[in-house]
Amino acid sequence: MNDYVWGGVAYRAKVDMLDAIAAAYATSWGRNTQDEVLRIFERMNDAELAEEAIDAWGLGGEDESHMAQFGYGAKDLAEAFGRVRERLGEAAPP
């Protein structure tokens, strides 16, 4: 598989797709203000955000899940939330 797909967009690298998922979740597809995003990162760590996103968006579970299809786990998504957190310059707990 050459492309990783999320939200109707193809990404060349898995890490880019994971970062897009984390950013979309944290920003509520761009609807949250920066202050709202910072509050989310203050109240939850990266692993908690990843688990919440997986549950809320149905990314995991079955063999046909997005996670299974594109070969990533909760830890990979948590690392993506960490990268998003770093880009925001947030010093909340990782």
What was the pLDDT predicted at 33? 86
| Residue closest to 57 by CA, chosen among 25, 13, 32, 9 | 25
What was the pLDDT predicted at 61? 83
pLDDT in tens, 18-76: 999 999 999 998 898 888 988 999 999 999 999 999 999 999 987 789 999 999 999 99
Q: Which residues contact 11 (CB under 8 A, 6 or more apart)?
A: 3, 4, 5, 17, 20
What was the pLDDT predicted at 89? 66
Q: Inter-axis angle of helices 74-88 and 46-57, to 10 degrees?
A: 120
What residue ranges in 1-94 does DSSP mark as E strands? Answer: 4-6, 9-11
Domain boundaries defined on the chain: 4-88
What was the pLDDT predicted at 91? 45
End-to-end CA distance of the chain: 31
Query: Residue 1 pLDDT more than 60?
Result: no
